[in-house]
Amino acid sequence: MGELDEIYSNYAEEVFKFLMCLCHNADLSEELTQETFYQAVKSIDRYNGECKMSVWLCQIAKHSYYKHLERNKKQQRHMFRDETLHTSPEAEFIHSEDKIALYRIIHLLEEPYKEVLLLRILGGLSFKEIGEIQLKNENWARVTFYRAKMKLRERGKDKNGQ
């Protein structure tokens, strides 16, 4: 473990500066620096010494940054698609002036419906990520989210007298 500590202390600043050049965001650079060293520890057995350690770590950092960009693109596309194509009652409700009423209805949902709904809508997580958090599979997360939406619709109709 001492060797890993030494690698971190020798190269963390260099990796951080490299990431700062890529993204110009100190918080993100710090997060990606941590991710870089996490990935490096996981794959240290693949480091064959053909290049400098700093070069190898910066390659990992670059890939971590690209993964971050790809995740953000997917989230933005997903959010844009949800906002423009889907005009479901819960989406309309979220964008209406009466957000507090929606949150009250969500608060009254029983678990796991409430948590899955909040992770999906507010957290912007994928069904796969929700399944991992709940120690279930992606399909379970989809079904649970669908059932939560149905419960929202029912309670929204009851509240509106429809």
∠ CA(116), CA(79), CA(140), 5° rounding? 30
Residue length, the chain?
162
Task: Please name which of 64, 146, 76, 159 lies closest in space to residue 112, comparing C-alpha atoms.
Answer: 146
- Read off the pLDDT of residues 138-156 as tens digits, 9 standing for 90 and up: 999 999 999 988 888 887 7
Compute the average pLDDT of residues 83-102. 59
For the chain, give the percent of residues with pLDDT over 70. 80
> Is residue 64 scored above 80 in pLDDT?
yes
Note the pLDDT of residue 154.
82
pLDDT bucket at 46, cuts 50 / 70 / 90: confident
DSSP assignment of 82-130 equals HHHH---HHHHHHHSS-HHHHHHHHHHSPTTHHHHHHHHHTT---HHHH
Residue 31 has a pLDDT of 93
Q: Is it the case that residue 82 has pLDDT exceeding 60?
A: no
Q: How many CB atoms lie within 10 A of CB 156?
A: 17
